[in-house]
Structure 1
Amino acid sequence: MMYGIVRTYSPYLRALQRSWEPINATGSLQIQQVRWRKRRTDPKAKSKIGRVREPTPFDPWERDFLVEKMPHYRSTMNAVRHLFNEELERKKDETAEGLSSVEQEREEEEEFRQLLKWNEQENAKINARRKEKLAAKAKEIEEENLQRLLRKEEQEAEEIERMRQLVLQEQEASKTFITMETMEAAINEALDNPKNYDFLIKKSGEPILPEDTAWESFKERTMKAKDEEFVADGGDENQVKSAEN
Structure 2
Amino acid sequence: MAWNDAENKRLQERREERLQKEEAAERERRLRGAEYQATLMEEFIKEKEKEVLQLQEEAKSFITPENLDQRIEECLNNPRNYNYAIDKEGRIAKRSILP
TM-score (normalised: structure 1) = 0.33
* Equivalent residue runs for 1:197-208 within 5 Å: 198-201=85-88, 207-208=89-90
CA distance in 2, matches of 1:174, 1:211: 34
CA contact (8 A) 1:178 1:186 kept: no
Give, in whole Å, the separation in 1 of the partners of 2:28 and 2:37: 14
Return the alpha-carbon distance in structure 2 between the equivalents of residues 196 and 142 of structure 1. Answer: 68
* Alignment counterpart, residue 22 of structure 2, candidates 106, 124, 137: 137
Out of 175, 179, 185, which is 2:73 matched to?
A: 185
Distance 1:148 1:178, change over 3 A: same
The equivalent position to 1:150 in structure 2, one of 13, 28, 35, is 35
Look up the match of 2:97: none
> Where has structure 1 moved over 4 Å in runs of 4 or more?
none
SS in 2 for 1:140: helix
Larger radius of gyration, structure 1 or 2? 1
Q: Which blocks of at least 5 consecutive residues in structure 2 are unaligned?
A: 95-99
Task: Return the TM-score normalized by structure 2.
Answer: 0.75
Unaligned 5+ segments in structure 1 are 1-115, 202-206, 213-245
Percent identity between the two aligned chains = 25
Q: 1:149 to 1:196 in 2, by over 3 A?
A: farther
- Check whether the contact 1:196–1:210 (CA below 8 A) recurs between aligned residues: no
Structure 1 vs Structure 2 CA RMSD: 2.4
1:176, 1:165 → 2: CA distance? 18
Say if 2:86 and 2:92, in contact at 8 Å, map to a contact too: yes
Q: How many residues in Structure 1 have an aligned counterpart in Structure 2?
A: 91
Q: CA deviation at 1:151?
A: 1.2
CA contact (8 A) 1:199 1:209 kept: yes
The 5-angstrom pairing of residues 47-86 of structure 1 reads none
